[in-house]
Structure 1
Amino acid sequence: MNAPRLDVIALVVSDMAASLAFYRRLGLDVPAEADAQPHVEAALPGGLRIAWDTEDVIRSFDPGWTRPEGGDRIGLAFRCEGPREVDAVYEALTSAGYRGHLQPWDAFWGQRYAVVLDPDGCGVSLFAPSEA
């Protein structure tokens, strides 16, 4: 038997249009007409897919599902071209009204690193290798 292969990263969202607008700003190619859909998928480099489902979709097959409290639903990390791009993307997102969680900083593990919250409060990391 072959091992399972990770194929889809799925996010549960409370507002599809708001979530997709955020992820479009990070470069994901999602058509505008997807904003009104209860389930949306987009291809990622390397063959993975990302999917968004509304809370109502999840409750349709898991009636006992409740919205998580006190933490992220999932953590995603977007690699930027370089340290300056981490700062620029963070600034662009927070200037557009998204909540910053950790301002850009030079992490001890050798990356320029920042975290912005998506519309559902999930931490989305922005990173790039630190310049030598």
Structure 2
Amino acid sequence: MTVHIAVIGLVTSDLAASLAFYRRLGLVFPPGAGDQPHVEAELPGGLVLALDTEQTVRSFHPGWQPPTGTGRIALAFRCDSPAEVDARYEELVAAGHHGELKPWDAFWGQRYATVHDPDGNGVDLFAPLPAPGE
């Protein structure tokens, strides 16, 4: 049997804020998701992003505590163009989310930026840069 990643799970302290953040990035959650303790959005290719409230996690792991610090996990969303990286970054920052790294042209050939979701997880936005001469 081959093991493969199927779900990325995040624990959120404010489900409504997390749903709003990830919906701004185009993820689709079911109607009424804000009233549920566990919600999922299917991503292209069949991978699932799951959001659980802190209370949900404590229901089966009573001693669970939120991790401290940042930088332990990052999600990366591919945008259609460098201009979309800039637009998504500006949209999220304007909505009150922390802009960790403003959009820039990375030496590895991508327009790249980082924002934090409501729980402080790094969310990278990227798009390939046009090849020189294009």
For the superposition of Structure 1 and Structure 2, which TM-score range results when normalised by the shorter chain? Answer: over 0.9
Task: Tell me the distance in 2 between the aligned counterparts of 1:84 and 1:48.
Answer: 26
Q: Give RMSD over aligned pairs.
A: 1.2
- Report the equivalent of 2:9: 10
- Report the equivalent of 2:54: 55
Task: Tell me the distance in 2 between the aligned counterparts of 1:7 and 1:85.
Answer: 27
Aligned amino acid, residue 82 of structure 1: S
Task: Tell me the distance in 1 between the aligned counterparts of 2:19 and 2:4.
Answer: 25
Task: Tell me the distance in 2 between the aligned counterparts of 1:6 and 1:87.
Answer: 30
Number of corresponding residues = 131
- Report the equivalent of 1:28: 27
For structure 1, the 5+ residue unaligned runs are: none
- Report the equivalent of 2:44: 45
Calculate percent identity across the aligned residue pairs: 65
Residue 131 of structure 1: CA displacement?
A: 1.7
Q: Find the residue that maps to 2:69 and give its secondary structure.
A: coil
TM-score (norm 1): 0.94
Task: Tell me the distance in 2 between the aligned counterparts of 1:72 and 1:41.
Answer: 23
Residue 105 of structure 1: CA displacement?
A: 0.5
- Report the equivalent of 1:65: 64
Residue 74 of structure 1: CA displacement?
A: 2.5
Task: Tell me the distance in 2 between the aligned counterparts of 1:74 and 1:24.
Answer: 19
Give the 3 Å change call, closer, same or farther, for CA 11–58 of structure 1 in structure 2: same
Task: Tell me the distance in 1 between the aligned counterparts of 2:116 and 2:69.
Answer: 14
Aligned amino acid, residue 82 of structure 2: P
- Report the equivalent of 1:79: 78
Aligned amino acid, residue 106 of structure 1: D
Deviations 1:57-81 (A, max 9, x none): 1111112211111114521000001
For structure 2, the 5+ residue unaligned runs are: none
- Report the equivalent of 1:113: 112
Aligned amino acid, residue 29 of structure 1: V
TM-score (norm 2): 0.92
Contact 1:11 1:73 in 2 (8 A): no
Residue 23 of structure 1: CA displacement?
A: 0.2
